[in-house]
Chains A and B, each alone.
Chain A
């Protein structure tokens, strides 16, 4: 188990290095100038700035410096925000994104499992048809459209009720989380519903399902005690990449709902070519995802005894 973890983390480190390198070179090949502001900069100031950020050195040298600092966990100062270290930006704003992401994921997974189970049990009957039509609609509409639509819907609701049922933007209380988490989780919820449905229907034809029926168990018990644990494995598998989808999808949702999460800074940093913030957040998210995927692998073993790692 320990050896397996070590191996996975080592390969994860290589992945992160690859992400960092690719981002570094891609970023530097984008035309533009991080120091180019609206107002013209005096050549002498510019020279000093370039010196202090190391931008006057050749790219290979900059790359080396960056890798060295990264290994020490230091991503340097932001170009655009006065006196703010990239590490501070991540520490202040990642928890907001993470909270939003976790709640969205909870909504997506629990909803996906429940609706998937309903559609499987009522296969080819009304509840199945209704849910599947909604699912296909949801999968094909991008979440910024949903964001705007749900804001509009809730605004109308607030107006009709005469008081604020739910805030439609901002951050600070649990009510603020509801709408963005719902919008963020919706696409994944629909996707997981489909996955869960087909996965459960596959279990329907397995021998153990027939055995369970022959034991005189109720349909509900067969579903939750026997089929769910087997059917949920493919869902667990996609949760790693799903975390990626939800956290990156979060960038847009954070902007629409003006939530002070890391995503907003990321998008801003790319627009302004804030090299250090781009590199810092990219590497951070890369490492985060690698760890999530390893965690998912371990969880997998808890559910299916056949693939318990290191045994």
Chain B
């Protein structure tokens, strides 16, 4: 296994490094193992897209970085998160993240801007809050910066708008406000958790362009969580594909989109509608993995069109597919057959 590069940073100069992270949620009839050994890195100044279907652990990963896991009722059981020379381990509480990272060096915007802002506080108060709380600015200084930030995210009449409440804004406008709010503390990393999912298509594009532009200007890193491969193609330098609480593929975005190494990612790519040819949409057969169990083999194996004995016996580590492209699939092992058996139907 000389091409195995498990748990080693993909590239140098990584500013954020997650290794072998496990997160559990207790539910009524047992435990959900939402993350089952996530490892990924974010490079300074670059855009990383995290892709995957609902429930694959994209958002939980982001929440873990922000120290929000206890807030949403889960716990980190194993692994570590390193950022800016400091490391949070599984058994530590999240005080460090709250004190040093969240809202200061790392900011986050959420999927649904309509519910993400407090309905009873003015926009200006909410944008300036990180500055007032973390940097000790006065209320009027905060408002001044809030106006500048609203200008930056291109909301007209900023002077007037900061005195308004969230219900006086549209969804797209509120997402701009959220972005302005996240920029207040000049973060080194911005995490955007499906920032355009709740918005309509034309607004989506505006928000994405705005994010890309701000990312360039501030030279901050951007971690964008999405299930939309179009967003990946438009935004990302690097991609991490998640499935069943693990990262199954990562590397440079154009390489992965051009020729995915993991059968899951291949399936996702094939499921994209082709606008030039009229042909029925293909879907990945089977159902998403049951995360109430902790997998000891490849969790995609039951849905996979290639089947090998090792797939149902051991978890595949990340193998190098080519330079800056790794994939957690036994097909990329040195000893794997060149032409694996193709199965018609998913097997259980």
Interface residues in chain A, defined as those with a beta carbon under 8 Å from any beta carbon in chain B: 206-218, 221, 225-226, 229-230, 303-306
B113 to chain A, nearest CB (A): 9
Q: Cβ of B129: which chain A residues have Cβ within 8 Å of it?
A: 215, 217, 225
CA separation between A212 and B66, bound complex, in Å? 11
Question: Contact at A306–B102, with CB atoms within 8 Å?
Answer: no
A287 to chain B, nearest CB (A): 32
CA separation between A209 and B134, bound complex, in Å? 18
Q: Cβ of B119: which chain A residues have Cβ within 8 Å of it?
A: 208, 230, 304-306
CA separation between A210 and B72, bound complex, in Å? 8
Q: Cβ of A218: which chain B residues have Cβ within 8 Å of it?
A: 98
Listed A/B pairs (24) with beta-carbon separation below 8 Å = A207-B114, A207-B116, A207-B117, A208-B116, A208-B117, A210-B116, A211-B117, A213-B67, A213-B68, A214-B102, A214-B103, A214-B107, A215-B103, A215-B130, A215-B133, A216-B103, A216-B104, A218-B98, A229-B118, A303-B120, A304-B119, A304-B120, A306-B119, A306-B165
Q: Is B167 an interface residue (CB 8 A)?
A: yes
Question: Contact at A207–B120, with CB atoms within 8 Å?
Answer: no
A11 to chain B, nearest CB (A): 27
A207/B110 contact (C-beta < 8 A), A217-B133, A304-B119 known: yes
B263-311 residues with Cβ-Cβ distance < 8 A to A are none
Interface residues in chain B, defined as those with a beta carbon under 8 Å from any beta carbon in chain A: 66-68, 71-72, 98-99, 101-104, 107-108, 110, 112, 114-121, 129-130, 133-134, 165, 167, 178, 181
A219 to chain B, nearest CB (A): 9
CA separation between A225 and B120, bound complex, in Å? 10
Q: Cβ of B107: which chain A residues have Cβ within 8 Å of it?
A: 214-215
Question: Contact at B115–A206, with CB atoms within 8 Å?
Answer: yes
B300 to chain A, nearest CB (A): 30
Question: Contact at A214–B68, with CB atoms within 8 Å?
Answer: yes
Q: Cβ of B98: which chain A residues have Cβ within 8 Å of it?
A: 213, 216, 218
User: Out of A221, A229, A230, A305, which one reaches B133, CB within 8 Å?
Assistant: A221
Smallest CB-CB separation from B184: which chain A residue? A215
CA separation between A209 and B117, bound complex, in Å? 8
A37 to chain B, nearest CB (A): 60
CA separation between A226 and B99, bound complex, in Å? 19
Question: Contact at A208–B134, with CB atoms within 8 Å?
Answer: no
CA separation between A306 and B119, bound complex, in Å? 8
B120 to chain A, nearest CB (A): 4
CA separation between A209 and B72, bound complex, in Å? 10
Question: Contact at A213–B102, with CB atoms within 8 Å?
Answer: yes
CA separation between A157 and B86, bound complex, in Å? 58
